[in-house]
Amino acid sequence: MSRPRHPGTAALHEELPPAMRDAADAFATHLSGERNRSGHTVRAYVTDVVSLLDHAVRMGATTPADLDLTVLRSWLARLRTAGAARTTLARRGAAARTFCTWAHRERLLATDVGQRLASPRARRDLPSVLRAEQAAALVTSPEIGGPVAVRDRVVLELLYATGIRVAELCGLDLPDVDRARRVVRVFGKGAKERSVPYGAPADAALEAWLRHGRPALAGPRSGAALLLGVRGGRIQATAVRRIVAAAAARAGLAHTSPHGLRHSAATHLLEGGADLRAVQELLGHASLSGTQIYTHVSVERLRAAYEQAHPRA
């Protein structure tokens, strides 16, 4: 069972009527157990649902069966009046619809009222993308020396070579690397498994790490983790973000995140002629719409180059 951790929301949870509180807890169990959502996703959804149920109680509801479209719309309207961003409203609307669908299936709601709830579409800003030479400068910025520098180099090479998410990188174990075929086995969102290839520079960085870096840092807490922190445990996402930020600074680039390297890898693949469906599979996107944003990035880069170079632009 996963309850919201934000103190304010936790207090709201405890003040809900028993039927509402039990529904929120059962929904959390459904998300984590049946749908295999990450702990972060479960907390976000349950936090939103608790907020919705608290609003419903203030409007006179006592059980999930009292939820109707008026309550849902009133809840989003109150959030909008309070200054919530479009992205926040879109996410909370999605959480409400997911909850209502589940509650209807569990016979806590007579009808799936959430399907009639419209919420603002989040604006999708084009991601910031490095040029190929900038990405190369960033990933090669750590000078090969001690085990930490060797570790940092392989972190950067793998992020850019594969385009995997930072959590996926941190979760890699030694058996997940097939150096003969140059692929890594990745467990993405929803524990979906996929194989992602990587190139010769990343393989050379892996060779150095496995021969000289990892043995120097390994200890009782290492287990099968591929990448290790300075104390020998599995590397954490916060450490990876620091590695990327430090590398960007050394390369003279604006702040870049691990997700920025993922954006860059996807864009460079498409610009190099890769098929959109293949890039979707490599990135682990559930739908093609998540990958199509990179075609827009490429078009914008082409437009910028045209306007800079063409005398009649």
Which tokens go with 99? 């909850």
189 is known as an active-site residue: yes
Residue 250 a catalytic site member:
no
The residue annotated as part of the active site, out of 151, 262, 263, 268, is 262
What is the residue type of 285?
H
Q: Check 73, 185, 250, 285 and give the catalytic one.
A: 285
Note the Cα 159 to chain centre separation in Å: 14
Q: Which of 189, 241, 250, 301 is catalytic?
A: 189
Q: Is 40 a catalytic residue?
A: no
Which position among 13, 37, 55, 165 bears the catalytic label? 165
113 SS3 class: helix
Catalytic residue status for 263: no
198 is annotated as an active-site residue = no
Residues of 47-86 as b/e, b for ≥16 C-beta within 10 angstroms? bbbbbbbbbbbeeebebbebbbeebbeebbeebeeeebee
Query: Any catalytic annotation for residue 13?
Result: no
- Comparing CA positions, the residue from 32, 13, 8 lying closest to residue 24 is 13
Q: Which residue numbers are catalytic?
A: 165, 189, 259, 262, 285, 294
